[in-house]
């Protein structure tokens, strides 16, 4: 058993870390303060291989796996969890096309999504709720070979910048009257398809979150991603694996930010004539953050490696649950270590806390994750 | 024998001397063993020396300009085998092939012995390839040693033109044009290939290693040579071949006392001015 990254993964991490340090770190506070979405960085993310890291080379990607995808997200989120949200949602929509799309769809959309010229999105949540996929109200009706889509999605990341959004729609009922869902790709600029309100969030700034409005949107049936009627399974699989892995990776990035900032501050700040790091109470806090980071790291990369080996179960839910709670705890601890400095916006500790809290509901709250973990546990043991 | 034939002027063959060094950002963690006079580098991650990255970037840009399909960039390093991944990193940045010289016989070398060993390796690569590199590029001054000797000394061993502290470089039809920054003026030089150029950090901004670059590096050759692979006099390599005897090594005591200047902005400004004037600035 070996918990170490391969030499190539280490090099990849160093490469992404260097990029994040030079291209993200200097601007992250400004993006947060001004609620700015840095679209100009997306082609650079494409060039680095981050946008299509897990996409096979034949479609313009790098051809690596989900471990490497999580490494990329962790490094981006180390400095900007908000920007990482854009990348993660892009991966989420892209994964649906990669896993379930037709060859024609892959040829058409994936190269642009990998090089950063097209951001992807996945739209599930509606005003009525997110995790209750069966209760979705957006409807797509098929006439001939054209879908007509009507409905409204909310809390959609990349709502205002996606070139292609994979939308989960109700497309019928089965023989028992249960709703059948389909996932349909809609390109930006399609008549009747437009972003609605952009949300004013408490954290995770640096990415768009908002509404998507579909008013008699007509798209060809060839835009159906996967088999019609199987949309719920497709959505749940991508949210459950790519989505939760991504959220855990972003939270891991926040955790590392808390850890590194806590250590740096404790070594630098002098109190009672000695650095804070010499005080046992501060050391305890640092130890707690370190343990939370290491445990989260093991849980996430174990789950990602299992996904790459094709045998993941509830591990992503475990990682998502543990890591989101750990990120919130650690950001709070960092603020406590920093005292007044932690509370002022000149330092990023407050941003880490706002971002960590923002991550909790994304791809399922902690309660949803616990239900999934309990469900599998009760069957398995 | 060393072939006099040079590569065709329409494209370029460039060799970059790359030095793995302890991460300069972790400089404060490097300690000195006073007894032996050696640096204690354990636990400090190795990186490609920043100026070596600039040299590699300059090589890649020149190769791209002259037609990337025909031009080639090789990298050469003398380092312990643990630093092998730094050469893989150079390959991931875009170098076509890498050579690494690693042997206990090379350990503890000063710049004289290092440049001799590197020059012998350059000759061997050129003999095997059947051409002379149009350019050998290197960082002028490494972040750990900082002597600015190695590029120049290597050029002397090879009997080639050399220019160091180069902040701008261009090659056209075999003519090398380099701008060198001195303390007060910029100096322009023109010389003929083959030449050895030492660059500085302001020559360019090195590209990032990309994920695809790392994938491509898998297929690019990395050759490891020991002393036995080179035509070399081991009395001129490593510690035994090094005439330099470093003086006493010690960590300077760093004392910084804070001083409050004035109670009001006006008093503070006047106080700062006094200090500046006193310093003769």
Tell me, yes or no, if B212 comes closer than 8 A to chain A by beta carbon. Answer: yes
B85 and A11 within 8 Å at the Cβ level: the answer is yes
| Residue range of the domain that includes B127 | 13-236
Q: Residue A51: what pLDDT?
A: 98
- B247 pLDDT band (50/70/90 cuts)? confident
Query: What is the domain count for chain B?
Result: 1
Q: What is the CATH number of the domain that holds B165?
A: 3.40.50.620
Considering the domain delimited by A122-229, tell me its CATH architecture.
Beta Barrel (2.40)
Among A15, A18, A47, select the one facing B214 at the smallest CB separation.
A15
pLDDT digits (tens, 9 = 90+) for A259-306: 999 999 999 999 888 999 999 999 999 999 999 999 999 999 999 999
B211 and A53 within 8 Å at the Cβ level: the answer is yes
Whether residue B37 is contained in a domain is answered as: yes
> Which is the CATH superfamily of the domain at A7-118?
Acyl-CoA dehydrogenase/oxidase, N-terminal domain (1.10.540.10)
User: Residue A140: in which H helix or E strand, if any?
Assistant: strand A139-143
B23 or A266, which is more confident: A266
Whether residue B259 is contained in a domain is answered as: no
Whether residue B247 is contained in a domain is answered as: no
What whole-number distance in Å separates Cα of residue A266 and Cα of residue A277? 5
Tell me, yes or no, if B28 comes closer than 8 A to chain A by beta carbon. Answer: no
Domain range list for chain A: 7-118, 122-229, 233-380
> A278-309 b/e with 16+ CB inside 10 Å = b?
eeeebeebbeebbebbeebbebbbbbbbbbbe
Phi–psi pair at A239, nearest 5 degrees: -65, -40
Whether residue B260 is contained in a domain is answered as: no
Q: Which of B47, B53, B211 to mutate to test the interface with A (most CBs of A within 10 A)?
A: B211
What whole-number distance in Å separates Cα of residue A207 and Cα of residue A197? 14
Cα B272 to Cα A50, B257, B263, B276, distances in angstroms: 48, 16, 13, 6
Q: Residue B37: what pLDDT?
A: 67
pLDDT digits (tens, 9 = 90+) for A80-113: 999 999 999 999 999 999 999 999 999 999 999 9
Average pLDDT score over residue span A223-238:
93
- The lowest-confidence range among A101-115, B140-154, B250-264 is B250-264
Considering the domain delimited by A233-380, tell me its CATH architecture.
Up-down Bundle (1.20)
SS (H, E, C) A203-237: CCCCCCEEEEEEEEEEEEHHHEECCCCEHHHHHHH
Phi–psi pair at A243, nearest 5 degrees: -65, -55
Looking at CA atoms only, how far is residue A153 from chain B in angstroms? 34
Neighbours of A276 (CB within 10 A): 22
Question: What interface predicted TM-score (ipTM) does this complex get?
Answer: 0.88
Cα B220 to Cα A133, B63, B214, B233, distances in angstroms: 48, 17, 10, 30
B209 and A11 within 8 Å at the Cβ level: the answer is yes
Tell me, yes or no, if B81 comes closer than 8 A to chain A by beta carbon. Answer: no
What's the whole-number average pLDDT of chain B?
Answer: 87
Whether residue B96 is contained in a domain is answered as: yes
- The lowest-confidence range among A84-88, A312-316, B28-32, B150-154 is B28-32
A18 and B209 within 8 Å at the Cβ level: the answer is yes
Looking at CA atoms only, how far is residue B209 from chain A in angstroms? 5
């Amino acid at each position: 058993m070996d918990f170490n990254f391969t030499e190539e993964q280490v090099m990849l991490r160093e490469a992404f870390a260097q990029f994040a340090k030079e291209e993200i770190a200097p601007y992250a506070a400004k993006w947060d303060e001004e609620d700015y979405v840095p679209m100009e960085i997306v082609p650079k993310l494409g060039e680095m291989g981050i946008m299509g890291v897990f996409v096979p080379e034949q479609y313009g990607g790098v051809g690596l796996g989900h471990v490497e995808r999580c490494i990329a997200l962790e490094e981006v989120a180390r400095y900007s969890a908000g920007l990482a949200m854009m990348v993660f949602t892009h991966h989420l929509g892209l994964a649906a096309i990669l896993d379930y799309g037709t060859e024609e769809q892959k040829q058409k959309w994936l190269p642009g999504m990998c090089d950063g010229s097209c951001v992807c999105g996945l739209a599930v949540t509606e005003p009525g709720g997110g995790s209750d996929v069966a209760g979705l109200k957006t409807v797509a009706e098929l006439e001939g070979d054209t879908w007509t889509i009507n409905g409204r999605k909310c809390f959609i990341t990349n709502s205002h910048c996606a070139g292609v959004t994979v939308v989960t729609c109700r497309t019928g009922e089965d023989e028992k009257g249960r709703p059948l869902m389909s996932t349909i790709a809609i390109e930006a600029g399609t008549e009747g398809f437009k972003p609605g309100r952009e949300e004013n969030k408490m954290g995770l700034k640096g990415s768009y979150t908002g509404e998507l409005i579909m008013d008699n949107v007509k798209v060809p049936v060839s835009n159906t991603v996967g088999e019609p009627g199987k949309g719920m399974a497709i959505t749940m699989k991508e949210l459950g694996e790519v989505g939760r892995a991504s959220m855990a990776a972003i939270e891991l990035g926040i955790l590392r930010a808390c850890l590194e900032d806590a250590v740096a501050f404790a070594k630098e700040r002098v109190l009672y004539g000695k650095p804070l790091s010499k005080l046992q109470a501060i050391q305890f806090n640092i130890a707690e953050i370190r343990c939370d980071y290491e445990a989260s790291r093991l849980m996430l990369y174990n789950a990602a490696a299992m996904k790459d080996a094709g045998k993941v179960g509830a591990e992503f839910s475990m990682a998502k649950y543990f890591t989101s709670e750990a990120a919130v705890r650690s950001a709070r601890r960092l603020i406590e270590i920093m005292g007044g400095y932690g509370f002022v916006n000149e330092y990023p500790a407050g941003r880490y806390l706002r971002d960590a809290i923002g991550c909790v509901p994304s791809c399922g709250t902690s309660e949803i994750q616990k239900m999934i973990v309990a469900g599998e546990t009760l069957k398995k043991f | 024998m060393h072939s006099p034939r040079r590569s065709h002027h329409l494209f370029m063959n460039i060799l970059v001397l790359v030095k793995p060094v302890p991460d300069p950002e972790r400089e404060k963690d490097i300690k000195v063993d006073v007894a032996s006079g050696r640096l204690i580098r354990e636990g400090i991650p190795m990186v490609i020396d920043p100026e070596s990255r600039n040299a590699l970037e300059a090589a890649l840009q020149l190769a791209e300009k002259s037609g990337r399909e025909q031009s080639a960039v090789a990298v050469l390093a003398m380092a312990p085998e643990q630093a092998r991944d730094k050469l893989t990193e150079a390959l991931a940045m875009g170098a076509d092939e890498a050579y690494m010289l690693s042997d206990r016989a090379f350990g503890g070398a000063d710049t004289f012995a290092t440049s001799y060993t590197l020059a012998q390796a350059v000759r061997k690569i050129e003999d095997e390839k059947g051409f002379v590199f149009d350019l050998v590029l290197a960082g002028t001054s490494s972040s750990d040693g900082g002597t600015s000797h190695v590029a120049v000394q290597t050029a002397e061993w090879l009997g080639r033109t050399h220019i160091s502290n180069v902040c701008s470089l261009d090659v056209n039809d075999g003519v090398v044009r380099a701008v060198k920054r001195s303390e007060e003026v910029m100096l322009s030089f023109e010389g003929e290939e083959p030449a050895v150029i030492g660059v500085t950090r302001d020559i360019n901004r090195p590209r990032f290693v990309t994920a695809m670059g790392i994938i491509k590096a898998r297929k690019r050759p990395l050759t490891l040579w020991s002393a036995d692979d080179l035509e070399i006099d081991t009395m001129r390599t490593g510690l035994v071949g090094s005439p330099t005897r470093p003086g006493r090594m010690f960590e300077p005591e760093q004392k910084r006392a804070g001083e409050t200047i004035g109670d009001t902005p006006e008093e503070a400004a006047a106080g700062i001015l006094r200090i500046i004037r006193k310093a003769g600035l």
